[in-house]
Amino acid sequence: MKIKKITKAVFPVAGMGTRFLPATKSVPKEIMTLVDRPLIQYAIDEARAAGIREFIFVTSRGKSALEDYFDVAPDLENTLRKAGKKELLAVLKGTNMDSGAIAYVRQNRPLGLGHAVWCARRLIGNEPFAVLLPDDVIAAEKPCLKQMVEAYAETGGNMVATMEVSPEKASSYGVLDVAEDMGAIVRAKGMVEKPKASEAPSNLAVIGRYILSPNVLNNLNKMKQGAGGEIQLTDAIAQEIGGEESVYGYRFRGQRYDCGSKAGFLQATVAFGLAREDLQREFSDFLHDMMAQQKAAQ
Ligand code: G1P
């Protein structure tokens, strides 16, 4: 099987982030800080590690801070250079994007994730591409998308990241109907967006990493409203099932944090804070004391 290399990734970042109001009144959700980096930087780093060279952002009104974030900041760089702050300079430069490597398209109406990806169709063209939802932050030894690119080299088709969730949580996700379970990889015979708990076909939820065939964009051309009245990416992927290219779920190795929810964001903050050598000691001592105080107060 001849597999085309995945070099383009779509980052849907048009959402209003209402769950984080009032913070998101003036700051895009994707710029909110996890330890010392904005959420979007984690997704970008993961994409880069997987070989992505072209980054397509689907934005909306009020997201200009995102564009500025990826631009070079000559004044800031000069100041750091003069002050001899080499490490900070390197960190700063790591956020720059080469001219031409990054593109922005606007989703001018909030019609759903499928519609957001469809907005990028002309930039994607006729080749397989990745989609990363920056709300899903995944801590992993080997970055999740890289794991998927390697698995995809074996399967081709379409691939979604997946993980087991409890039955009562399934209705918050896209859920796979499994035809064949091969361990890390499962082949799907169906996919449902946000099923009722009693109707979920399995407990394998879709997590925000996808490798998709360009056929999915064609499907989106004709897509009608699905769950929640939105144009769903899940539905466009599900249409591929039974066609030429299969749909696979990939059980990634790693820990996913739902940074689209407050509890998930806090959990990620603790986990990523503890994983940082420069913060570990002080932070874990603090957490220890906090827990002890809480216990004593109970
Ligand atoms: C989106 C997708 C859903 C997927 C989820 C993962 O839903 O539509 O299929 O399971 O991301 O985070 P959202 O969380 O945007 O409602």
DSSP codes, 158-210: EEEEEEE--GGGGGGSEEEEEEEE-SSEEEEEEEEES--GGG-S-SEEEEEEE
Cβ neighbourhood burial of 16 (10 Å; 0-12, 13-18, 19+): middle
Quick: pLDDT tens for 101-154: 999 999 999 999 999 999 999 999 999 999 999 999 999 999 999 999 999 999
CATH of the domain at 23: 3.90.550.10
Geometric angle at alpha carbon 258, from 106 and 139, rounded to 5°: 105
Q: What percent of the chain has pLDDT over 70?
A: 100
CA 135 to ligand 1 centroid distance, Å: 9
CA of 284 to the centre of ligand 1 (A): 32
CB 193 within 8 Å of CB 232: yes
Contact 291, 176 (CB under 8 A): no
Ligand 1 center–CA 245 separation, angstroms: 22
Q: Is the peptide bond before 214 cis (omega within 30 degrees of 0)?
A: no
Q: What is the pLDDT of residue 1?
A: 64
Say how far apart CA 48 and CA 211 lie, in whole Å: 14
What is the count of structural domains for the chain? Answer: 1
Q: Could you tell me if residue 282 is inside a domain?
A: no
Alpha helix segments (H runs only) across the chain: 39-49, 64-70, 74-82, 86-93, 113-119, 121-124, 144-155, 215-221, 233-238, 262-274, 277-297
Ligand 1 centroid from CA 174, angstroms: 6
Cα(170) to ligand 1 centroid in Å equals 11
Evaluate whether 289 touches 281 at the Cβ level (below 8 Å): no
Q: Considering the domain boundaries, does residue 224 fall inside one?
A: yes
Determine the Cα–Cα distance for residues 282 and 277; give it in Å rounded to an integer. 10
The closest-lying atom of ligand 1 relative to the alpha carbon of residue 174 is 9
List, for residues 230-268, the tens digit of each pLDDT value: 899 999 999 999 888 899 999 999 999 999 999 999 999
pTM: 0.94
Burial of 128 (0-12, 13-18, 19+ CB in 10 A): buried
The torsion angle over the Cα atoms of residues 217, 175, 179 and 212, rounded to 10 degrees, is: 20
Mutation pick for ligand 1 pocket among 11, 111, 173, 202 (CB with most ligand atoms within 8 Å): 173
Paired sense of beta strands 33-34 and 37-38, if any: antiparallel
Please give the distance, rounded to the nearest whole angstrom, from the Cα atom of residue 208 to the centre of ligand 1: 6
Measured from CB, residues less than 6 Å from any atom of ligand 1 are 113, 133, 136, 173-174, 193, 205-208, 233-234, 260
Give just the sign of the alpha carbon dihedral 275, 276, 281, 284: negative
Q: Among 67-71, 182-186, 192-196, 234-238, which stretch is predicted with the lowest mean pLDDT?
A: 67-71
In a domain, 268, yes or no: no
- Asked if residue 58 is part of any domain, the answer here is yes
- For residue 293, CA distances in Å to 98, 162, 263, 290, 298 come to 49, 37, 21, 5, 9
Best probe residue, ligand 1, of 16, 20, 164, 206 (max atoms within 8 Å of C-beta): 206
Which residues on neighbouring strands pair with residue 12, listed in sequence order? 58
Residue 203 CA to ligand 1 centre (angstroms) = 14
- What is the mean predicted confidence (pLDDT) over 282-289? 95
Residue at 216: amino acid letter: V
Residue 249 lies in a domain: yes
Minimum-distance ligand 1 atom for the alpha carbon of 135 = 12
Q: Is residue 272 part of a domain?
A: no
What is d(CA 130, CA 242) in angstroms, rounded to the nearest whole number? Answer: 21
Ligand 1, pocket-test mutation among 133, 138, 176, 252, most atoms within 8 A of CB: 133
Is residue 256 situated within a structural domain?
yes
pLDDT tens-digit series, residues 36-59? 999 999 999 999 999 999 999 999
> What Cα–Cα distance (Å) separates residue 172 from each residue in 43, 193, 240?
21, 8, 22
Residue 243 lies in a domain: yes
- Average pLDDT over the chain reads 93
Instruction: Supply the range of the domain harboring residue 18.
Output: 8-260
